[in-house]
A and B are shown apart, each in its own frame.
Chain A
Amino acid sequence: MIRELAAVAVGGAVGTGMRFALDLAFATEDGLFPVSTLIANIVGSFVLAVVVAELWEKLPDWARAGLGAGLLGSFTTFSALAVAFVHLASTNQWLLALIYVTATMVLGLAAAALGLRLGHARARRPDLVNE
């Protein structure tokens, strides 16, 4: 349990740092479309799906905790999505707010579905991993 918690903490710090770096790279003012959060959520969904489908069975508990709950769980965020919606709505940009949330859900779920398919396909063909 201690080892898993340590892995989650380390992964959580790294994932948060990567998300923060994206925020700095794609800085947006309040009331605008936060591209960095959208990118983090789509990329994080895809990578977690691949890791879960392809590697989950092969990884020890601490590695699952550090990669899944830690790194990718913290790289992606829901609170920033909710706050972005509130900022957009509070400046009467309702259409943009709806587009933002819809884009996150549709693209995030599609990325997860794609990642799961890809991961399962790769897990069934371990001989291709080293190519």
Chain B
Amino acid sequence: MTAAVVFAILGAGAAGAVLRYLTARAFASHDGFPWAVLIVNVAGSALGGLLAGLAHIGTIDPNLEIVMLTGLCGGLTTFSTLSVETMQIVSLKSIRVAFLSGAANLVLGIGVAAAMYFWLIALAS
């Protein structure tokens, strides 16, 4: 792996983080539900599933795959904000909102990743 690839990964991670930050500012919680994290996690997981599918059928350059997957998707999505926000919501006694948020991230995030992955593979076969 060349230094250029490593720098591209870091740059893509920075871009993903900035996109996530702007999303968080645009969707500053008005109804107590952490929408911003759900949006970036579902969007990043969809792109991740797409990239994994492209890698599986062998139509993506491995360097581009790692820049997009580890860099952009990794930077765009987050787990720490999800876990800390969920526990803060729990401490505010909104167990239902905390559960809904966690479940929505898991079901929708994994769901769109799987859908993109298997859709691409079906398309290619």
Q: Which residues of A contact B (CB under 8 A)?
A: 4-5, 8-17, 19-20, 23, 40-41, 44-45, 47-49, 52, 65, 68-70, 72-83, 85-87, 89-90, 101, 104-105, 108-109, 111-113, 115-116
Q: What does the 1/0 interface line of B6-24 toward A look like (CB < 8 Å)?
A: 1001111111111011001
Cβ-defined contact, B48 with A16, below 8 A: no
User: Of B13, B73, B87, which is within 8 A of A12 by CB?
Assistant: B13
Residues of chain B with a CB closer than 8 A to A49's CB: 83-84, 87
Q: Are A108's CB and B52's CB within 8 A?
A: no
Q: List 16 A-B contacts (CB under 8 A).
A: A9-B18, A12-B14, A19-B70, A20-B6, A45-B80, A52-B84, A65-B21, A69-B20, A74-B14, A78-B105, A79-B44, A82-B48, A83-B69, A83-B117, A109-B83, A109-B86
Q: Is B110 an interface residue (CB 8 A)?
A: yes
Is B27 positioned at the interface, with any CB of A under 8 Å from its CB? no
- Does B34 belong to the interface (CB within 8 Å)? no
